Chain A
Amino acid sequence: MATDRVARRALDLHHVTVSYGPRPALLDVSVSIEPGQLIGIIGPNGAGKSTLVKAILGFVEPDFGTVQVFGEQLSRAPRRIAYVPQRGAVDWDFPVRVIDVAAMGCYGRVPWWRRLGPSEHREAEEALNAVGMLPYRDRQIGELSGGQQQRVFLARALAQGSEILLLDEPLAGVDAATERTIMRVLRNARDQGRTLLVVHHDLATAAEYFDRLLLLKQRVLAFGPPATVLQEDLLNEVYEGRLRSFTHAITGEHEAVSE
């Protein structure tokens, strides 16, 4: 049945258009994402990657089009998507400890009149453990390194127990060792059947890290396995010649320059 087929998809975007003026941030974005995949969202600056994330989260109302999560309207499924913010979007001086941030993952499940109970605290601790941050549970979040901060927010997303995880540039500005740790956690989550959408800036590693790539520039220009998305002429068109040494980008010998 048709509904059955739709229900098996994690995420369905139909003709989503979002605008902040005459120039749309997203134009006619239609994409269907199967569950259990690690998907990279790539595209130049201003391509609407963060807007796409916000539209999927329901934080931005599309001018037109719908977002469906496991066949349901977004508004009826708010807890099925977890979100890891961009580093720059967080106030690192905020008085919260690592464990408090992880516990936020449980907020969506606990009704407002109830306090967080021992089972929620346990879940928060388990999530921290999964990303190797349990030893830091009582630190204030500003006292951590960039990679550790990223892992704490990852733990929060895991604690939400959502089937879909949205991550906005989780690998920006972290060192190589942290990048490996984060990717391992993401792959584990994928292997447990979760669907992950990751905004990613580094074309050099995109092919290696993701099952599918979504090339975005207001519209969806390509969506599929890395080999079919990372076509030289396509990328040159999208990045308007700002992409140097493309072949090196694919083989990972040089970092692609997308500025």
Chain B
Amino acid sequence: MIKTALAWTAAIVAALLLGSLGISALVGRDLVSLWLEPWTLPYFHKGVVGGSLVAVPCAVLGCLVVLRRMAFLGDALSHAMLAGVCGGYLLMKLAFGAEAHIGGMVIGAVIASLITLALIAFVSRLTRIKEDTAIGIMYTGIFAAGVVLVSLLQRHIHIDIYHFIVGDVLGIGDSDLWVAAVVGALVLSMVVLFYRQLQLASFDRIMAAAIGLPVVLIDYMLTTGVSLVVVSGVRMVGVVMVVGLLVSPAACAYLLCNRLATMMVLAGLFGVTGVIGGMYTAEWFGTSGGGAIILFVTFQFLVVLMAAPRYGMLSRWLRLRRQLPQDLIEDVLSGILRAKGISPTLEAIRAKVAQPGGQIPRVLAFLEHESLVRRDGPGWALTDEGRVEATRMRRAHRLWESYLHKTGVPDDQLHDHAELLEHVNDPDTLAYLDQILGHPERDPHGSEIPRPVPVFEHPVPLRQLAPGHRGQVAVLAPAARGLDLSLGETVIVTAHADGSWTLHRETGGDVICDDEMADAVLINVVQRAQFA
């Protein structure tokens, strides 16, 4: 755990160093001025502090937005604000003569968001219009109302639609910082206080309702929180990109952890790194602040998507690559079986397997772990289970050969085709082949095709069993009374030759029965011999 954390930190530091070397060459500044000079600029401070004040609550609530699949709703809320901002602006100006009153605009924005939500809920519940369409209609409509309002009253309202759309992180004022701080404190304390309620209502709504949580109230609380953070985020990055601040850091965290609380903390961190990275980018290349922040947040997401230890693309790819091919596993098993008694060494197995053998040591380790093979001196031997599995493969191979022979495949090609087809070997397939071939006993080369023994669910007469079957004596009919067997004891069928059955008693000693006695002993099979 600590090791991986250290490795990650080292990797990040190395990447930062390399990246900044490249950038310092690109923009022609030395490393020190590259990293430290921006901090001498007041707007940079304000941008980082204000951006973080916005990004952290955005990211924390964003976790719930991501988990509840509400991202589109966040987008809608941000757009709908414009009308509310205009309304608030206008009202404060007309009523109190206050120009661009920030409180009025924020409250107006929140009210507009809530009205949008109500309209969406109204349309999607009462008509056949589904929710996503309702969202699409309502938010564009209300956004458009805002746009029209602003252009209509442009002599009274001084709102720059361009800044509203793309944000203006470099022009953050003290009042914006205050709004962000108050909103952040409100939202974070809401999450901390009602963490369990928010978690349960998001995870299992029915149970939340069943234990008496006010789920509808929790929904409203959450959406109000979302519209609050969105309102404060729009100032920095604009209506279009604020949803990125909401969901991207949360999505990064989602790929990295297994607990909601951890996810929220990580998302907050990613929000802050996103703002800092974005501000540097903007400063170095002289670009739009909001754009740079969202670009950096997206870049972070792509990096995490690639490199996340468990849910990332890279680890997925490695996992798939590391998976041992089933074909090779089966070939190794049949290779050992074909060695007939002598335990083959690694080289001998390699020689028997038709595929490239680089992975064979790992296949053997896997088979040993599954107790299908065991070490035997310098070589490898099959365990009982391994023998059953390998014999099943052999049966598949020989059935396929018989089938290929029947369909007219030339004899010299039988083996190669069967080598591929033997891996198609589920019980139904083999039963089908067996049936259409008329239950053959030997394959085209004259080798015996091993045959599975059926499973029994009820006590069966000994006469139906084969060597290898193990079970408890369930019934002793009169004809078997003379035998040295007692009810309930465990026996193994060890041999069967014409008219004579040998049972090995687990307590010691063998019992031999003739056909008539074998009909009279009923056994509850607990372990079947899969192949005779």
Q: Which residues of A contact B (CB under 8 A)?
A: 54, 57-59, 78-79, 81-83, 85, 89-91, 94-97, 100, 104, 107-108, 110, 112-113, 116, 140, 156, 160
Bound form: Cα–Cα A78–B206 in Å:
12
Nearest-Cβ distance from residue A21 to partner chain B, whole angstroms: 13
Bound form: Cα–Cα A97–B259 in Å:
7
The answer to whether A85 touches B263 (Cβ under 8 A) is no
Bound form: Cα–Cα A78–B209 in Å:
9
Does B156 sit within 8 A of A, measured CB to CB? no
The answer to whether A108 touches B259 (Cβ under 8 A) is no
The answer to whether B211 touches A160 (Cβ under 8 A) is yes
Bound form: Cα–Cα A89–B207 in Å:
11
5 A-B pairs in the complex with CB atoms less than 8 angstroms apart: A59-B210, A79-B212, A85-B207, A108-B211, A112-B197
Residues on B with C-beta less than 8 A from A85 are 204, 206-207
B: contact size bracket: 20 to 34
The answer to whether B211 touches A95 (Cβ under 8 A) is no
Does B260 sit within 8 A of A, measured CB to CB? yes
A113 with B193: in contact, given A94-B67, A108-B211 (CB under 8 Å)? Answer: yes
Nearest-Cβ distance from residue A87 to partner chain B, whole angstroms: 12
The answer to whether A107 touches B211 (Cβ under 8 A) is yes
Nearest-Cβ distance from residue B107 to partner chain A, whole angstroms: 27
A54 with B211: in contact, given A95-B254, A97-B259, A100-B259 (CB under 8 Å)? Answer: no
A78 with B259: in contact, given A57-B206, A112-B193, A113-B193 (CB under 8 Å)? Answer: no
The answer to whether A78 touches B203 (Cβ under 8 A) is no
The answer to whether B196 touches A54 (Cβ under 8 A) is no
A83 with B260: in contact, given A104-B200, A112-B193 (CB under 8 Å)? Answer: no
Does B447 sit within 8 A of A, measured CB to CB? no
Q: Which A-B residue pairs are the 7 nearest by beta carbons? A: A78-B212, A108-B211, A140-B258, A57-B210, A59-B209, A95-B263, A83-B210
The answer to whether B210 touches A58 (Cβ under 8 A) is yes
Bound form: Cα–Cα A32–B347 in Å:
73
Bound form: Cα–Cα A94–B205 in Å:
13
The answer to whether A95 touches B258 (Cβ under 8 A) is yes
The answer to whether B193 touches A96 (Cβ under 8 A) is no
Q: Which residues of B contact A (CB under 8 A)?
A: 67, 193-194, 196-197, 199-200, 202-204, 206-207, 209-213, 254, 257-260, 262-263
The answer to whether B258 touches A81 (Cβ under 8 A) is no
Residues on A with C-beta less than 8 A from B211 are 78-79, 107-108, 160
Nearest-Cβ distance from residue B513 to partner chain A, whole angstroms: 32
Bound form: Cα–Cα A113–B196 in Å:
10
Chain B, Cβ-Cβ closest to A116: B196
The answer to whether A96 touches B197 (Cβ under 8 A) is no
Nearest-Cβ distance from residue A55 to partner chain B, whole angstroms: 11
Most buried by B among A57, A107, A112: A107
The answer to whether B196 touches A89 (Cβ under 8 A) is no
Residues on B with C-beta less than 8 A from A113 are 193
The answer to whether A91 touches B212 (Cβ under 8 A) is no
A95 with B259: in contact, given A104-B204, A112-B196 (CB under 8 Å)? Answer: yes
Bound form: Cα–Cα A104–B197 in Å:
10
Not counting A95-B254, A104-B200, a sample of 15 additional A-B residue pairs whose C-beta atoms are within 8 angstroms of each other reads: A59-B210, A78-B211, A79-B212, A81-B210, A83-B210, A85-B206, A89-B204, A89-B206, A94-B67, A96-B199, A107-B200, A107-B213, A108-B211, A108-B212, A140-B258
Residues on B with C-beta less than 8 A from A96 are 199, 203, 258-260
Of the candidates A57, A79, A89, A97, the one whose C-beta lies within 8 Å of that of B258 is A97
Residues on A with C-beta less than 8 A from B194 are 112
Residues on B with C-beta less than 8 A from A57 are 206, 209-210
Bound form: Cα–Cα A95–B267 in Å:
13
Residues on A with C-beta less than 8 A from B193 are 112-113
Bound form: Cα–Cα A97–B16 in Å:
33
Residues on A with C-beta less than 8 A from B212 are 78-79, 108
Residues on B with C-beta less than 8 A from A54 are 206
Chain A, Cβ-Cβ closest to B256: A95
Residues on B with C-beta less than 8 A from A95 are 67, 254, 257-260, 262-263
Chain A, Cβ-Cβ closest to B69: A91
Bound form: Cα–Cα A91–B193 in Å:
24
Of the candidates B67, B200, B206, the one whose C-beta lies within 8 Å of that of A91 is B67
Residues on A with C-beta less than 8 A from B67 are 91, 94-95
Chain B, Cβ-Cβ closest to A168: B206
Nearest-Cβ distance from residue B291 to partner chain A, whole angstroms: 30
Bound form: Cα–Cα A57–B213 in Å:
12
Of the candidates B196, B210, B258, the one whose C-beta lies within 8 Å of that of A78 is B210
Nearest-Cβ distance from residue A142 to partner chain B, whole angstroms: 9
Residues on B with C-beta less than 8 A from A107 are 196, 200, 211, 213
Bound form: Cα–Cα A156–B200 in Å:
12
Chain A, Cβ-Cβ closest to B206: A59
Residues on A with C-beta less than 8 A from B263 are 95
Chain A, Cβ-Cβ closest to B196: A107
Of the candidates A90, A97, A160, the one whose C-beta lies within 8 Å of that of B204 is A90
Bound form: Cα–Cα A156–B203 in Å:
13
Bound form: Cα–Cα A191–B202 in Å:
33
Nearest-Cβ distance from residue A84 to partner chain B, whole angstroms: 9
Chain A, Cβ-Cβ closest to B68: A91
Bound form: Cα–Cα A94–B200 in Å:
11
Bound form: Cα–Cα A104–B206 in Å:
13
Bound form: Cα–Cα A100–B258 in Å:
10
Residues on A with C-beta less than 8 A from B200 are 104, 107
Bound form: Cα–Cα A247–B254 in Å:
51
Bound form: Cα–Cα A82–B210 in Å:
8
Bound form: Cα–Cα A221–B209 in Å:
29
Chain B, Cβ-Cβ closest to A98: B258
Chain A, Cβ-Cβ closest to B215: A59
A83 with B206: in contact, given A94-B67, A107-B196 (CB under 8 Å)? Answer: yes
Bound form: Cα–Cα A83–B213 in Å:
14
Chain A, Cβ-Cβ closest to B197: A112
Residues on A with C-beta less than 8 A from B197 are 112
